[in-house]
Structure 1
Amino acid sequence: MKRNTTVDIFGVINFALAGLNCLMVLFFILVLIYGIFFSGDTEAEIKNGVIGSIILIGPFLIGFAIYLSAGVGLMKRRVWGYYMHIAASIMAFFSIILIAYTVVSLIFVFKPEFREEFFSNYSK
Protein backbone atom coordinates (compact mmCIF):
# COMPACT_ATOMS: atom_id res chain seq x y z
CA MET A 1 0.00 0.00 0.00
CA LYS A 2 1.33 3.40 -0.99
CA ARG A 3 1.74 5.94 1.80
CA ASN A 4 -0.41 9.05 1.62
CA THR A 5 1.94 12.04 1.40
CA THR A 6 -0.77 14.37 2.73
CA VAL A 7 -0.39 12.73 6.13
CA ASP A 8 3.36 13.40 6.02
CA ILE A 9 2.80 17.03 5.02
CA PHE A 10 0.44 17.62 7.93
CA GLY A 11 2.91 15.86 10.22
CA VAL A 12 5.66 18.27 9.18
CA ILE A 13 3.31 21.24 9.62
CA ASN A 14 2.49 20.02 13.13
CA PHE A 15 6.22 19.80 13.90
CA ALA A 16 6.68 23.37 12.61
CA LEU A 17 3.81 24.63 14.77
CA ALA A 18 5.27 22.79 17.77
CA GLY A 19 8.57 24.54 17.09
CA LEU A 20 6.87 27.94 16.97
CA ASN A 21 5.14 27.24 20.27
CA CYS A 22 8.47 26.16 21.77
CA LEU A 23 10.04 29.43 20.61
CA MET A 24 7.25 31.40 22.27
CA VAL A 25 7.75 29.48 25.53
CA LEU A 26 11.48 30.22 25.40
CA PHE A 27 10.78 33.89 24.64
CA PHE A 28 8.50 34.25 27.65
CA ILE A 29 11.02 32.45 29.84
CA LEU A 30 13.63 35.01 28.76
CA VAL A 31 11.17 37.82 29.50
CA LEU A 32 10.57 36.26 32.89
CA ILE A 33 14.29 36.02 33.64
CA TYR A 34 14.83 39.63 32.60
CA GLY A 35 11.88 40.81 34.65
CA ILE A 36 13.05 39.03 37.78
CA PHE A 37 16.78 39.72 37.71
CA PHE A 38 17.43 42.82 35.60
CA SER A 39 14.34 45.04 35.56
CA GLY A 40 14.81 46.84 38.86
CA ASP A 41 11.08 46.66 39.56
CA THR A 42 9.56 46.47 43.00
CA GLU A 43 8.69 43.12 44.53
CA ALA A 44 4.97 43.56 43.80
CA GLU A 45 5.65 44.38 40.14
CA ILE A 46 7.94 41.36 39.82
CA LYS A 47 5.26 39.14 41.36
CA ASN A 48 2.66 40.43 38.90
CA GLY A 49 5.10 39.95 36.03
CA VAL A 50 5.78 36.36 37.04
CA ILE A 51 2.07 35.60 37.25
CA GLY A 52 1.45 37.22 33.87
CA SER A 53 4.31 35.34 32.24
CA ILE A 54 3.08 32.02 33.61
CA ILE A 55 -0.40 32.78 32.28
CA LEU A 56 1.08 33.55 28.86
CA ILE A 57 3.38 30.50 28.84
CA GLY A 58 0.54 28.05 29.61
CA PRO A 59 -1.27 28.01 26.25
CA PHE A 60 1.99 27.84 24.31
CA LEU A 61 3.20 24.93 26.43
CA ILE A 62 -0.07 23.07 25.86
CA GLY A 63 0.14 23.88 22.14
CA PHE A 64 3.69 22.55 22.00
CA ALA A 65 2.62 19.25 23.56
CA ILE A 66 -0.42 18.84 21.30
CA TYR A 67 1.33 19.76 18.04
CA LEU A 68 4.38 17.63 18.84
CA SER A 69 2.30 14.58 19.72
CA ALA A 70 0.14 15.09 16.61
CA GLY A 71 3.24 15.27 14.42
CA VAL A 72 4.78 12.15 15.92
CA GLY A 73 1.49 10.27 15.73
CA LEU A 74 0.93 11.22 12.10
CA MET A 75 4.44 10.22 11.07
CA LYS A 76 4.12 6.86 12.81
CA ARG A 77 0.57 6.36 11.49
CA ARG A 78 -0.91 5.82 14.95
CA VAL A 79 -4.62 6.18 15.65
CA TRP A 80 -3.95 8.51 18.57
CA GLY A 81 -1.96 10.72 16.16
CA TYR A 82 -5.05 11.01 13.97
CA TYR A 83 -7.11 12.21 16.92
CA MET A 84 -4.36 14.50 18.19
CA HIS A 85 -4.20 16.05 14.71
CA ILE A 86 -7.92 16.77 14.89
CA ALA A 87 -7.43 18.33 18.35
CA ALA A 88 -4.48 20.38 17.06
CA SER A 89 -6.54 21.57 14.10
CA ILE A 90 -9.37 22.66 16.35
CA MET A 91 -6.89 24.39 18.65
CA ALA A 92 -5.41 26.23 15.66
CA PHE A 93 -8.86 27.66 14.95
CA PHE A 94 -8.45 29.99 17.94
CA SER A 95 -5.57 31.74 16.21
CA ILE A 96 -6.61 34.26 13.58
CA ILE A 97 -3.65 33.36 11.39
CA LEU A 98 -4.27 29.60 11.49
CA ILE A 99 -8.00 29.56 10.67
CA ALA A 100 -7.20 28.71 7.04
CA TYR A 101 -4.98 25.84 8.23
CA THR A 102 -7.86 24.54 10.35
CA VAL A 103 -10.28 24.53 7.44
CA VAL A 104 -7.86 22.78 5.07
CA SER A 105 -6.78 20.32 7.75
CA LEU A 106 -10.32 19.32 8.66
CA ILE A 107 -11.24 18.90 4.99
CA PHE A 108 -8.36 16.49 4.45
CA VAL A 109 -8.63 14.65 7.77
CA PHE A 110 -12.09 13.31 6.95
CA LYS A 111 -11.23 12.11 3.45
CA PRO A 112 -11.23 8.30 3.09
CA GLU A 113 -7.63 8.23 1.81
CA PHE A 114 -6.43 10.05 4.92
CA ARG A 115 -8.41 7.83 7.31
CA GLU A 116 -7.19 4.63 5.64
CA GLU A 117 -3.67 5.41 6.81
CA PHE A 118 -4.80 5.00 10.42
CA PHE A 119 -7.75 2.62 10.29
CA SER A 120 -6.92 -0.44 8.19
CA ASN A 121 -10.50 -1.74 8.31
CA TYR A 122 -11.98 1.59 7.18
CA SER A 123 -14.08 1.16 4.04
CA LYS A 124 -15.01 3.88 1.61
Structure 2
Amino acid sequence: MKISLFSFGFKYGQPEADMVLDVRFLPNPYWVPELKEHTGVEELVAAYVLKSEVGREFLAQLNPFLAFILNSHKQAGRQEFTCAIGCTGGRHRSVAVTEHLRHVLTEMTSNNELAVSHRDIHRE
Protein backbone atom coordinates (compact mmCIF):
# COMPACT_ATOMS: atom_id res chain seq x y z
CA MET A 1 0.00 0.00 0.00
CA LYS A 2 1.16 3.52 -0.77
CA ILE A 3 0.65 5.82 2.21
CA SER A 4 0.84 9.59 1.76
CA LEU A 5 1.00 11.95 4.72
CA PHE A 6 1.09 15.68 4.41
CA SER A 7 0.66 18.72 6.57
CA PHE A 8 -1.25 21.80 5.48
CA GLY A 9 -2.68 25.09 6.73
CA PHE A 10 -6.47 25.44 6.80
CA LYS A 11 -6.13 29.13 5.93
CA TYR A 12 -4.75 28.08 2.52
CA GLY A 13 -7.56 25.63 1.76
CA GLN A 14 -8.45 22.09 2.79
CA PRO A 15 -7.01 19.40 0.49
CA GLU A 16 -8.55 16.18 -0.82
CA ALA A 17 -7.55 13.18 1.30
CA ASP A 18 -8.95 9.88 2.58
CA MET A 19 -8.65 11.25 6.11
CA VAL A 20 -8.17 14.82 7.35
CA LEU A 21 -7.01 15.46 10.91
CA ASP A 22 -7.59 18.91 12.38
CA VAL A 23 -4.92 19.52 15.05
CA ARG A 24 -5.76 23.16 15.80
CA PHE A 25 -6.65 22.12 19.38
CA LEU A 26 -2.97 21.43 20.17
CA PRO A 27 -0.81 24.16 21.79
CA ASN A 28 0.22 26.70 19.15
CA PRO A 29 3.93 27.63 18.98
CA TYR A 30 3.00 30.63 16.82
CA TRP A 31 2.16 32.52 20.01
CA VAL A 32 5.53 31.75 21.66
CA PRO A 33 8.02 34.39 20.42
CA GLU A 34 11.06 32.09 20.53
CA LEU A 35 9.21 29.35 18.56
CA LYS A 36 7.19 31.42 16.10
CA GLU A 37 9.81 31.55 13.33
CA HIS A 38 10.64 27.84 13.59
CA THR A 39 8.73 24.84 12.20
CA GLY A 40 7.35 21.56 13.49
CA VAL A 41 10.30 19.69 11.96
CA GLU A 42 12.49 21.16 14.70
CA GLU A 43 12.62 19.29 18.02
CA LEU A 44 11.93 22.36 20.17
CA VAL A 45 8.66 23.08 18.35
CA ALA A 46 7.65 19.40 18.13
CA ALA A 47 8.24 18.96 21.86
CA TYR A 48 6.14 22.03 22.67
CA VAL A 49 3.24 20.58 20.66
CA LEU A 50 3.51 16.85 21.27
CA LYS A 51 4.79 16.67 24.85
CA SER A 52 2.02 18.84 26.23
CA GLU A 53 -0.66 17.00 28.19
CA VAL A 54 -3.17 17.19 25.34
CA GLY A 55 -0.47 16.29 22.81
CA ARG A 56 0.50 13.12 24.70
CA GLU A 57 -3.14 12.09 25.09
CA PHE A 58 -3.84 12.76 21.40
CA LEU A 59 -0.90 10.63 20.24
CA ALA A 60 -1.82 7.82 22.62
CA GLN A 61 -5.18 7.60 20.87
CA LEU A 62 -4.04 8.47 17.34
CA ASN A 63 -1.39 5.78 16.95
CA PRO A 64 -3.69 2.76 17.48
CA PHE A 65 -6.50 4.47 15.55
CA LEU A 66 -4.26 4.98 12.53
CA ALA A 67 -3.06 1.36 12.73
CA PHE A 68 -6.71 0.24 12.71
CA ILE A 69 -7.59 2.49 9.75
CA LEU A 70 -4.60 1.35 7.69
CA ASN A 71 -5.25 -2.34 8.39
CA SER A 72 -8.92 -1.90 7.50
CA HIS A 73 -8.05 -0.18 4.22
CA LYS A 74 -5.50 -2.86 3.40
CA GLN A 75 -8.01 -5.65 4.13
CA ALA A 76 -10.52 -3.90 1.87
CA GLY A 77 -7.97 -4.10 -0.96
CA ARG A 78 -7.11 -0.39 -1.07
CA GLN A 79 -3.78 0.29 -2.72
CA GLU A 80 -3.41 3.90 -1.56
CA PHE A 81 -4.21 5.90 1.56
CA THR A 82 -3.79 9.66 1.98
CA CYS A 83 -3.89 11.42 5.34
CA ALA A 84 -3.76 15.22 5.56
CA ILE A 85 -2.98 16.85 8.90
CA GLY A 86 -3.99 20.49 9.23
CA CYS A 87 -3.47 23.39 11.59
CA THR A 88 -4.03 27.09 11.02
CA GLY A 89 -0.93 27.97 8.98
CA GLY A 90 0.65 24.59 8.27
CA ARG A 91 4.06 25.36 9.83
CA HIS A 92 4.00 24.15 13.43
CA ARG A 93 1.39 21.74 14.83
CA SER A 94 0.45 19.88 11.64
CA VAL A 95 4.11 19.49 10.71
CA ALA A 96 5.02 18.12 14.15
CA VAL A 97 2.18 15.56 14.02
CA THR A 98 3.03 14.57 10.44
CA GLU A 99 6.69 14.01 11.35
CA HIS A 100 5.62 11.97 14.39
CA LEU A 101 3.43 9.81 12.15
CA ARG A 102 6.30 9.40 9.70
CA HIS A 103 8.33 7.72 12.45
CA VAL A 104 5.41 5.65 13.75
CA LEU A 105 4.46 4.39 10.29
CA THR A 106 8.05 3.65 9.33
CA GLU A 107 8.23 1.28 12.31
CA MET A 108 4.67 -0.04 11.99
CA THR A 109 4.45 -0.71 8.25
CA SER A 110 7.69 -1.89 6.73
CA ASN A 111 5.98 -3.33 3.63
CA ASN A 112 4.39 -0.05 2.56
CA GLU A 113 5.62 2.86 0.49
CA LEU A 114 5.51 6.06 2.56
CA ALA A 115 5.54 9.59 1.15
CA VAL A 116 5.62 12.63 3.45
CA SER A 117 5.36 16.29 2.51
CA HIS A 118 4.56 19.67 4.06
CA ARG A 119 2.44 21.74 1.71
CA ASP A 120 2.53 25.08 3.52
CA ILE A 121 5.63 24.92 5.72
CA HIS A 122 7.35 27.78 3.86
CA ARG A 123 4.42 30.19 3.97
CA GLU A 124 4.31 32.96 6.56
Q: Does TM-score exceed 0.5, indicating one fold?
A: no
The higher relative CO (CA closer than 8 Å, separation ≥ 6) is in 2
TM-score range, shorter chain: under 0.3
The answer to which structure has the higher helix fraction is: 1
